[in-house]
Structure 1
């Protein structure tokens, strides 16, 4: 039989204080009233108030500064943002990238110039060298995919890609940091296969390989519901 877990008083106070924060009572960076002010407002003692503040600090909402007080750091707990970023925002952006990049890869195979191919191969090599640092890895991967979109000779597709890349960069860095998933030779080979299809003028092959890569990435992100990498 499942047992019923009662919410502790400090948990209740933490929840109530978070509700006030999310209602806009304080702005990010603003100093909150002291324990002696907040505790009577919520009908609890200072020790309970202190524990509730400690809980919210541990979740990334508040920050205590020695001798200065408690300040609002974020409007939502870190775990809430992680969930939103990894399962909602990133999945939606990857779905949009599939629509843009698969078509761009096909167009690149048909329209790329010799100079475009040099740029794409250089970006592929740079991507292979950026395995050890997560930020460099995300930036190098983005530069590689952008070089393919640029080779499509379609300025609107480039603009759309740049929009997606800018909105997802920090989230992708965070996702890789949380999953601790290493760069692999197999992943690099998959990207090399896309390049070879473009070099050969194989529009269907370039599009298909691009779709397989991005679909696998989307599936991996969407399956992190339990907080563990797929």
Structure 2
């Protein structure tokens, strides 16, 4: 299997279920204040597994459609949610996502450039393993974040520079915290996976310039998405 085999990631079943459920909510099939059917019934209704349905519900909770009450059930909170508020851009240790982005652009760009000239069969096999698991339509957000970290760490290790790897590992806590926050953004998982595939392809081609460019663009893309989200949250909305 080559990384190019997974260039176009399949859409997650949970995302499809979330779209279908939100459409039913907006159409009034599940009115505001009503309790949703049990998870197993929803999973059967939308033709997905219970883990995918659970992930879909979490997505709609983050979007402002639903609200869970422990031991009681999941209720429709809003049928036309507005922005649920700006994303918290702070990270542990007193750092911000902007701090992390600046370091990642420099660090990951150089790691990818070096890895493209030093990639071994062992590194390549591990990257493909991580990409295959991350491309599973049933992968959960938490699992994807774990695989995301493994992918980037493996690129740093493939650079052949042990100090660069140590530098990457010092970002571990902030990277995971950041990833768990942004992975809930609509489409972010699919775009991140596609970027990872592109980086891995450049490494396999042995093209340092392309690998470095794709690694840096991967970080800049989500940085731009967060800026747009912040702008949208700050923009006054028209009232009915």
Aligned alpha-carbon RMSD (Å): 2.8
Larger Rg: 1
8 Å contact from structure 1 (residues 91, 221) kept in 2: no
**C-alpha deviation, 1:152, in angstroms:** 0.3
Secondary structure of residue in 2 paired with 1:84 = coil
Q: 1:204 aligned to 198, 206, 209, which one?
A: 209
Render the CA deviation track for 1:95-147: whole Å, top value 9, x for unaligned.
10110011100100101111111111112212212764222121111111111
Q: Report deviation, 1:83.
A: 4.5
Task: Return the offset for 1:181.
Answer: 2.0
Q: What is the alpha-carbon distance in structure 2 between the residues aligned to residue 83 and residue 151 of structure 1?
A: 30
Change (3 A) 1:225 1:157: same
Asked if 1:95 is matched to 2:119, the reply is no
| Residue 153 of structure 1, aligned match among 147, 155, 160 | 160
Higher relative contact order (CA 8 A, sep 6+): 2
Aligned: 1:84 with 2:90: yes
Q: Which residue of 1 aligns with 2:182?
A: 175
What runs of 5+ residues in structure 2 fail to find an aligned partner?
Answer: 1-84, 235-240
202-211 vs 220-229, which deviates more?
220-229
Counterpart among 148, 168, 173 of residue 166 in structure 1:
173
Q: TM-score, normalised by structure 2?
A: 0.54
| Number of positions where the alignment pairs a residue of Structure 1 with one of Structure 2 | 148
Distance 1:147 1:218, change over 3 A: same
**Measured at CA, do residues 125 and 228 of structure 1 come closer, stay the same or move farther in structure 2, by a change above 3 Å?**
farther
Query: What TM-score, normalized by structure 1, do the two folds share?
Result: 0.56
Q: Aligned-pair distance for 1:211?
A: 1.2
* CA distance in structure 2 between the aligned counterparts of 1:95 and 1:150, rounded to whole angstroms: 20
Preserved CA contact (<8 Å) 2:116 2:207: yes
Q: In structure 2, the residue corresponding to 1:168 is in which secondary structure?
A: helix
1:215 to 1:171, Cα distance in 2 relative to 1, 3 A: closer
What 5-or-longer segments of structure 1 have no aligned partner? Answer: 1-78
1:155 Cα deviation (Å)? 1.0
